[in-house]
Amino acid sequence: MDTVILESPADKKQKGTKTKFVFSFHEGDGKNKQLLGGKGANLCEMTQIGLNVPPGFVISTDACLTYLDTNNKQLPAGLIEEVKDHIKHVEVASRKKFGDPTNPLLVSVRSGSAMSMPGMMDTILNLGLNSKTLKGLIQQTGNERFGYDAYRRFIQLFGKVALGVPDEKFDKHFEEVKKRAGVKVDVGLNTEDLMEISERFLGVVKEYTGKPFPEDVFEQLEIAIKAVFNSWMGKRAIDYRREFKITPEMANGTAVNVVTMVFGNMGNDCATGVGFTRDPGTGENVMFGEYLTNAQGEDVVAGIRTPKPVVQLADEMPDLYKQLEELRNKLEAHYKEVQDFEYTIEKGVLYCLQTRNGKMNTTALVRTSIEMEKEGLITRDQALLRVKPEMLEQLLHPRLDSNHNVEPLAKGLPASPGAASGHVVFDADRAELLGHTGEKLILVREETKPEDIHGFFASQGILTSRGGKTSHAAVVARGMGKPCVAGAEGIEVDVKLRQAKIGDKVLHEGDYITIDGGTGNVYQGIIPTVEPVFSEELKILLSWADEKATLKVYANADTPDGAEKASSFGAMGIGLCRTERMFNGTDRLPIVIEMILADTNEDRQVALDRLELIQRQDFKEIFLAMAPRPVTVRLLDPPIHEFLPNEDVLRDEIEHLMHLKTTISGVNNLFSSLRLLNADVSIAEKSSAPFNGKGEELIEQAIEKKQKMLKKVHELHEVNPMLGHRGVRLGITLSQIYKMQIKAILEAAADCQLAKADVRPEIMVPQVVKTEELIEVKKFVNEIQAEIEADKKIKLNFKFGTMMEAVRACLEASELASVAQFFSFGTNDLTQATFSFSREDAENKFLPYYINNGILKDNPFEVLDVKGVGKLMKMAVEGGRQTNPDLKIGICGEHGGHPESIMFCHKIGLNYVSCSSLRVPIARLAVAHAKLGESNYSSN
């Protein structure tokens, strides 16, 4: 099942392909990569825009296909004649002569297909060398050692690549000579050594091929061309194309590039160098690079001489520096991109050998984008498109100083980006306690649960030994913008002993560690971090993005602080404010538990009334922070058992209390006995205050309370909590909670409105599957709204809508839109339901296998599954808009911050995406990209 199928040249012929096979760099079509290969087309383009490229020509891929189609591997008729013609032109241009013993023209021969296929075939350098032209080369360079070095290299490379002689045949002799000469590195060999090696290599070729090494330079060239053509159907190339799924439509056949060799080592008027048209580290608009005079490129690599910064060339060769400046301007003017180029100066002539778009870090990319737009080189759209949204990630988190040389202690999954150092702490309560003293902490847990939330607040970063990139720890940390390394399986946490084992190392509470959430590495001790900078250029770029985009970017934020942060990152609203996060504060959780344990509705209401006042204040602050932008508040979503302690913990606590009780009563009995013996026990009693009736009573009460909790935990236990009694199901059956939350939201809105603040709350119902559910909650809203409006004599301004996170909601979208004023896709849950994958279980058990074995291309919890989940979303958008064309639709799952997923959201016509604050800049750029890419995708 080979995917590589050659198009028959006969077919091509019928299509009327012209029979010209060879193109000089002046005549080749710089855009026709199919015909000339990428490299060939590039050389043509460089030549034609006026860069001084060493003279040369390209033999087309058509020639290759025609050659491969012949049974006896004959070069197409006329090809050699064409090649010879072009060699003549090259001789004229280079003022050298192919095969000439005094002024020899040497060329490089290399393959090049339409797609880059690194390593498919080696380049042959210095073709045209033979025993006679060698003398010419030595004469030209005045460097005999260089001449023989070039010669022995050419014999080996040609022997191997063009004649098929195995490398080890040559290596054997090379090693023998090196040994005899007593040198360890190649550069230690002197001219005589290299002469001997050249002789031996000629002998190897003769022995292996049965023929002497070809002295005729045209014979060399013909053999080399055939070798390049044959390499297209070599095993290495076929495997490569299969591996990377390169079809004939993408690349068919290889071209051959024949280019004049130029030498930077022919004297002090020669040099070789590499350069960037701007500084790739900072983006500053200055030429950047290094060079060496009288040297070849490989001298830089060998490290014998230290290259000089390019500015020195201005002193050393002022005229050439000026030419280099011109080259730089030509390159940017033509390519509209920072270029990474290679050049050689041969006898005072500057040749440009290669150029390509320069790789830069994000800082430089952003700066050059802004500056190139200001210089008129590129448009704003182009400036926006130059920066891939994901690249902004680097700019938004503290990262480790790149100069550290510390080996990681352990490795986990990079679950939330950024780096942080702090004292190890093993539980959330402890973290909160230590956090108050201002300590920097890293919370280390086997895995985290909602009740650990205060520990997150108190810590600089989170490290878990279980769970994936979408585990609770990862999701919450990302939401808070704190670094997290998850699932570092090598770490064994022992909470009771307050220590963790990593192999034979032991981390104790208080030890310093550093985590890197961008790589997943965990280090012992403190490694300095670099703080992120939100540069002026980035701000400009994002403002351009905002102008361009149609999709709005909201943030997910649950607290007043979070809202401020979202705002500072440019969020245009809050798309998801999770009310349950507010329940987990240490001042709230006890009230929540009281509410859950309440025996009567009245008791429950007392607790809820207290919670209402707290939530109302939260909402007020969040609404005001965002005014006049919308704040979408999701009513309680998780099942209430998530607020109760874990069953095992409760059991342990009860056991411990029981034990304590026994001890106390034992001591009390002892005192009684002593008293019977008329002993004076008053001092002992005083010094053991807890050991009296009162203490026993308190312990009994504590036991009773814990047992009640345990009973409730059992009562509320669910087999599949993900699909259990939660969201609107809970909201309807235990309606007091939703009523409290709705009241808190609307009272907060009323307070703000009365204070003339233009707040825009939006009430969102989670887990909806039936329109009737939404109608039921709408009834609560209507009642409470009417009460408040009558009471305060105002008209409340808010929206009512639904999460779209259950499959059935998507299927019933048109009905839901008759009640909901907005939809918000919760793609985390929707993905779970669509795949029947429990995220937590999947990421621990089978998802890695699925991705590694190609059953899934991506983790669907990271990259939106367009084919499945996306289909449901599209149905829902169509259904909803059918009923209400103005329906506001957004997404608040984690995918809302993922550029590829944002592209899809744009495509299906959403109004906004909502993501964690830290991803807001990325999303802002991505929504602009989506808009700019509109023409690149069909609507299906």
Chain contacts with a copy of itself (rule: CB under 8 A): 718-725, 729-730, 732-733, 767, 769-770, 772-773, 776, 805-808, 811-812, 829, 832-838, 840-842, 845-846, 849-850, 853-856, 865, 867-869, 871-872
The sign of the dihedral angle between the CA atoms of 769, 772, 777, 781 is positive
In angstroms, how far is CA 30 from the centroid of its own chain?
33
Q: Give how far Cα 400 sits from Cα of 326, 438, 510, 521, 531, Å.
A: 39, 22, 21, 11, 9
Query: Do the Cβ atoms of 414 and 393 come closer than 8 Å?
Result: no
DSSP assignment of 808-874: HHHHTHHHHTTT-SEEEE-HHHHHHHHHT--HHHHHHHTHHHHHHTTSSSS-TTTS--TTTHHHHHH
Q: Cα angle vertex 565, ends 559, 570, to 5°? A: 125
Q: Which of 472, 641, 898, 929 is catalytic?
A: 472
Q: Which residues of 221-251 are buried (b: 16+ CB within 10 A; e: fewer)?
A: bbbbbbbbbbbbeeeebeebbeeeebeeeeb
Residue type, 184: K
Q: Give how far Cα 495 sits from Cα of 279, 451, 875, Å.
A: 50, 16, 48
Please report how close the Cβ of residue 647 comes to a copy of itself at its closest, in angstroms.
10
Backbone angles phi, psi at 350, to 5 degrees: -90, 120
**Selection from 899, 906, 908 nearest residue 926 by Cα:** 899
Rounded to whole angstroms, how far apart are CA atoms 57 and 107?
Answer: 11
Query: Do the Cβ atoms of 9 and 71 come closer than 8 Å?
Result: no
Q: Cα angle vertex 775, ends 869, 576, to 5°? A: 50
Q: Give how far Cα 120 sits from Cα of 4, 228, 236, Å.
A: 15, 10, 6
Backbone angles phi, psi at 104, to 5 degrees: -70, 140
Please report how close the Cβ of residue 835 comes to a copy of itself at its closest, in angstroms.
5
Query: Do the Cβ atoms of 633 and 761 come closer than 8 Å?
Result: yes
DSSP letter at 443 equals E
Please report how close the Cβ of residue 197 comes to a copy of itself at its closest, in angstroms.
53
Please report how close the Cβ of residue 671 comes to a copy of itself at its closest, in angstroms.
32
Rounded to whole angstroms, how far apart are CA atoms 158 and 489?
Answer: 51
Please report how close the Cβ of residue 710 comes to a copy of itself at its closest, in angstroms.
13
Tokens 């919308």 appear where? Answer: 630
Rounded to whole angstroms, how far apart are CA atoms 145 and 193?
Answer: 9
Please report how close the Cβ of residue 32 comes to a copy of itself at its closest, in angstroms.
37
Query: Do the Cβ atoms of 886 and 909 come closer than 8 Å?
Result: no
**Angular region, 487: left φ>0, alpha ψ -120 to 50, beta rest:** left
472 is known as an active-site residue: yes
Q: Which of 270, 892, 905, 915 is catalytic?
A: 892
DSSP letter at 377 equals S
892 is known as an active-site residue: yes
Rounded to whole angstroms, how far apart are CA atoms 837 and 377?
Answer: 49
Given the DSSP bridges, would you call strands 124-127 and 97-98 parallel, antiparallel or unpaired? unpaired
Query: Do the Cβ atoms of 259 and 116 come closer than 8 Å?
Result: no
Please report how close the Cβ of residue 415 comes to a copy of itself at its closest, in angstroms.
17
Query: Do the Cβ atoms of 903 and 929 come closer than 8 Å?
Result: yes
Give 895's contacts (C-beta < 8 A, 6+ positions apart). Answer: 827, 828, 862, 863, 864, 901
Please report how close the Cβ of residue 850 comes to a copy of itself at its closest, in angstroms.
8
Residues taking part in catalysis: 472, 892
